[in-house]
């Protein structure tokens, strides 16, 4: 590609691309192409001028990369995400330009009598909105706007009426852009990554990226997995949680002929779905819907501010009437009408929350609403699941102990064959161990039954196979030891997974579950940040739980607990007046995650846990829990600061307007400017 260097410094380059016109998509291609280069630290491409500003570490490599760039390169095109934000910015830039152009034409080129008529026509919109509000028994900001405009027109002051309507329109446009920009930034951040699904091909199953799925393909979903695409169930039965669509957490039964929706989660069972709709099911679309839904989950502080904004409207009207009665000056009275608390309170607060959600996403956290950030800020109790949470999300198989004449490799192969369908940290460890040893397993088993918090049951060539805890294998399934065998000397430092074939123990898989290096430090920091009680709960044995609890420094621990035990403990703590956070990663943690004031799931855990949870954190590092607590506290601080600033500044404008110091149009300008300024300030990052 040919380009001209317009300006150059030691680490900055401004170049002009030599072409007649740069489209939005071409600008994105160039920008993402350069961003992908390790020697480019930042880049901004301006599609209107065809210029690019590049911050770099190696000038020669930048010039070489520019010379090699081509719009026809498929690899470059693949770098550009589905949504980049450029189109949204251009849309609002054009709207702003045309609004200013219309304003100029209206004031300079249209005769005064015609301007008066046009002002009356435009005012009808505001009067209609006020009447609709009054018909519902509500006194809202629309009434303030309508009164100000109507009074100005009655006084034949169409210049003031026109200016007021222009400022209101400009304010609405900027507020709309600020809000959509915040949502789009967050959605694009959250939609990064690749999902994979099980594709049924003949009698076998293959794990493939979701982008490779076509309409008509058959995909398999099982307990704990999210349904990635819309389609019809062709076989199998499942209980599906559709809370993301309906808001109702009660599971819906799906069988052959039923329709399944993307984003819902299989709680129990498994089914094969024939995909018949790919559009609208991408991660970006689902995430935008989630963000829009999350804005309904307002924190108490947000709700209080919104309610106060509506309650203050009658006082604004009263202040206007009082000012007129005392001064007999309609201009001073209208100045008060130009100012309200609602716009800033109702815009700045949600934007503050969206900004916190966006920043949380960059730190490896997905947050579903301000309500949960407030819960994290207020929490005094944290409950941790052990496996995959306080311990590494990728436990390892340390050894396989066989019994009878069973072969170690065959035992691990069979265990991996069953475990691969149910995403959990221990299941992943078994599958990975088989893969590392080169054990390829065919799908020989029949329908697999997953028993939450216990294990898996199936049959291979007509022989029943069970895999799970000691309780499940020996007490629930009544399996036995081979003759002359015992396992009293199983190593204590490992967690144990029991495999039985035909009712007889075949092997014990020893799982090494190392504690996260940062766990003790994180728990200590959470204490410093105001958490007074830290609890660990696990289905593991008392021996294993006690050892982990001592190393990480929890206040209490509970071993050999069932899912309902965890949920009941959360309920008791809440009844005692405590604010509770629950952190887990498995299907068995889902009831407790639902009960907690804020349920936090580990990203590598089961889909049902992530779906039920209010917040999902990265599996890489527990330190993001500390960041989450700090972010939540900073959000509450900013919301309260915005609250005081908005009330104080707008009240000052009312006083100045009533005193005749500022005109109505100036009041409107300062009010809208302050709303925009506070909203933009609310988009800033919270943490250094």
Across the chain, mean pLDDT equals 82
Report domain extents, the chain: 3-80, 196-281, 396-512
pLDDT at 280 over 50: no
What pLDDT score does 286 carry?
57
What pLDDT score does 535 carry?
95
Q: Return d(Cα 79, Cα 189) in angstroms, integer.
A: 15
Greater confidence, 436 or 303? 436
CATH class of the region 3-80: alpha beta
Give the number of other CB atoms < 10 A from CB of residue 325.
9
Please state the rounded mean pLDDT for residues 215-239. Answer: 86
> Which H or E element spans position 472?
none
Q: How confident is the model at residue 65 (pLDDT cuts 50, 70, 90)?
A: very high
Q: How confident is the model at residue 447 (pLDDT cuts 50, 70, 90)?
A: low
The answer to whether 540 and 495 are in contact (CB under 8 A) is yes
CATH class of the region 196-281: mainly beta
pLDDT at 192 over 70: no
Q: Return d(Cα 121, Cα 383) in angstroms, integer.
A: 61
pLDDT at 637 over 50: yes
Q: How confident is the model at residue 148 (pLDDT cuts 50, 70, 90)?
A: confident
What pLDDT score does 143 carry?
79
Give the lowest-confidence range in 263-277, 508-522, 573-587: 263-277
CA proximity to 506, closest of 400, 615, 354, 643: 400
Is residue 305 packed enough to be buried (19+ CB in 10 Å), middle (13-18) or exposed (0-12)?
buried
What pLDDT score does 426 carry?
78
Q: How confident is the model at residue 278 (pLDDT cuts 50, 70, 90)?
A: low
Q: How confident is the model at residue 512 (pLDDT cuts 50, 70, 90)?
A: confident
Model confidence over 1-40: pLDDT tens digits? 888 999 888 889 999 998 888 899 899 899 989 988 889 9
What pLDDT score does 244 carry?
55
What pLDDT score does 193 carry?
47
- As a whole-number percent, the residues of the chain with pLDDT over 90 amount to 20
pLDDT at 243 over 70: no
CA-based end-to-end distance of the chain: 39
409's CB contacts (< 8 A; 6+ apart) are 437, 439
pLDDT at 446 over 60: no
What pLDDT score does 290 carry?
54
What pLDDT score does 186 carry?
59
What pLDDT score does 178 carry?
63
What does the chain come to in residues? 688
Model confidence over 150-174: pLDDT tens digits? 877 887 777 777 877 887 777 677 6
313's CB contacts (< 8 A; 6+ apart) are 139, 140, 141, 143, 144, 340, 342
Q: Which CATH superfamily, name and number, covers 396-512? A: Calcium-transporting ATPase, cytoplasmic domain N (3.40.1110.10)
Please state the rounded mean pLDDT for residues 634-646. Answer: 89
Give the lowest-confidence range in 152-166, 353-367, 474-488, 633-647: 152-166
Q: Return d(Cα 242, Cα 246) in angstroms, integer.
A: 6
Model confidence over 326-353: pLDDT tens digits? 888 888 887 777 776 766 776 777 788 8
pTM above the 0.75 mark? no
The answer to whether 339 and 646 are in contact (CB under 8 A) is no
Cα angle 236-242-248, degrees, rounded to a multiple of 5 = 135
- As a whole-number percent, the residues of the chain with pLDDT over 70 amount to 85
pLDDT at 306 over 50: yes
The answer to whether 369 and 297 are in contact (CB under 8 A) is yes
Q: How confident is the model at residue 357 (pLDDT cuts 50, 70, 90)?
A: confident
pLDDT at 194 over 50: no
The answer to whether 265 and 226 are in contact (CB under 8 A) is yes
């Amino acid at each position: 590609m040919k380009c001209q260097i317009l300006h150059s410094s030691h680490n900055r380059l401004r170049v002009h691309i030599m072409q007649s016109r740069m489209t939005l998509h071409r600008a994105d291609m160039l920008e993402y192409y350069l961003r992908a280069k390790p020697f480019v630290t930042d880049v901004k491409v301006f599609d209107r001028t065809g210029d690019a500003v590049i911050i770099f570490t190696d000038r020669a490599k930048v010039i070489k990369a520019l010379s090699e760039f081509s719009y026809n390169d498929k690899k470059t095109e693949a770098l550009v995400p589905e949504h980049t934000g450029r189109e949204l910015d251009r849309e609002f830039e054009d709207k702003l330009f045309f609004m200013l152009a219309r304003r100029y034409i209206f004031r300079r080129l249209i005769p005064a009598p015609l301007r008066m008529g046009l002002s009356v026509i435009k005012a009808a919109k505001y009067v209609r909105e006020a009447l609709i509000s009054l018909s519902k028994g509500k006194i809202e900001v629309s009434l303030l706007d309508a009164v100000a405009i109507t009074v100005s027109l009655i006084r034949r002051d169409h210049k003031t009426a026109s200016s007021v309507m222009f400022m209101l329109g400009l304010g609405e446009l900027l507020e709309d852009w600020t809000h959509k920009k915040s949502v789009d930034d967050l959605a694009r951040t959250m939609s990064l990554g690749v999902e994979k699904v099980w594709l049924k091909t003949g009698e076998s199953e293959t794990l493939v990226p979701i982008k490779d799925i076509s309409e008509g393909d058959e995909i398999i979903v099982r307990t704990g997995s999210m349904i990635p695409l819309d389609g019809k169930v062709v076989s199998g039965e499942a209980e599906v949680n559709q809370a993301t669509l309906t808001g109702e957490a009660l599971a819906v039964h799906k069988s052959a002929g039923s329709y399944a929706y993307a984003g819902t989660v299989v709680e129990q069972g498994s089914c094969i779905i024939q995909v018949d709709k790919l559009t609208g099911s991408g991660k970006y679309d689902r995430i935008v819907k989630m963000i829009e839904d999350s804005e309904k989950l307002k924190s108490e502080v947000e709700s209080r501010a919104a309610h106060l904004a509506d309650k203050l409207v009658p006082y604004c009207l009263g202040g206007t009437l009082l000012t007129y009665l005392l001064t007999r000056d309609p201009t001073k009275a209208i100045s008060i009408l130009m100012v309200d608390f609602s716009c800033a309170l109702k815009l700045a607060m949600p934007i503050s929350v969206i900004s916190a959600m966006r920043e949380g996403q960059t730190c490896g956290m997905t947050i579903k609403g301000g309500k949960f950030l407030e819960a994290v800020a207020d929490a005094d109790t944290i409950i941790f699941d052990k496996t995959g949470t306080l311990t590494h999300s990728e436990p390892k198989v340390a050894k396989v102990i066989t019994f009878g004449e069973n072969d170690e490799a065959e035992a691990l192969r069979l265990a991996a064959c069953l475990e691969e369908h149910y995403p959990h940290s221990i299941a992943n460890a078994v599958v990975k161990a088989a893969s590392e040893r080169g054990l390829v397993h065919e799908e020989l088993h029949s329908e697999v039954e997953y028993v939450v918090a216990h294990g898996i049951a199936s049959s291979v060539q007509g022989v029943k196979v069970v895999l799970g805890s000691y309780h499940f294998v020996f007490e629930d399934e009544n399996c036995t030891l081979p003759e002359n065998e015992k396992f009293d000397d199983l190593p204590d430092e490992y967690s144990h997974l029991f495999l039985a074939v035909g009712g007889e123990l075949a092997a014990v898989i020893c799982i090494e579950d190392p504690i996260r290096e940062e766990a003790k430090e994180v728990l200590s920091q959470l204490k410093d940040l105001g958490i007074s009680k830290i609890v660990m709960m696990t289905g593991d044995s008392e021996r294993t739980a006690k050892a982990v609890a001592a190393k990480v420094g929890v206040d209490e621990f509970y071993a050999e607990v069932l899912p309902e035990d965890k949920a009941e403990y959360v309920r008791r703590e809440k009844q005692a007046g405590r604010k509770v956070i629950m952190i887990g990663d498995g299907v068995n943690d889902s009831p407790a995650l639902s009960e907690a004031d804020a349920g936090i799931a580990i990203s590598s855990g089961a889909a049902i846990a992530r779906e039920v949870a209010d917040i999902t954190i990265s599996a890489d590092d527990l330190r993001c829990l500390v960041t989450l607590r700090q972010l939540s506290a900073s959000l509450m601080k900013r919301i309260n600061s915005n609250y005081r600033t908005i009330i104080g500044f707008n009240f000052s404008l009312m006083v100045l307007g009533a005193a005749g110091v500022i005109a109505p149009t100036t009041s409107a300008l300062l009010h809208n400017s302050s709303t925009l300024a506070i909203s933009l300030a609310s988009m800033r990052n919270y943490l250094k």
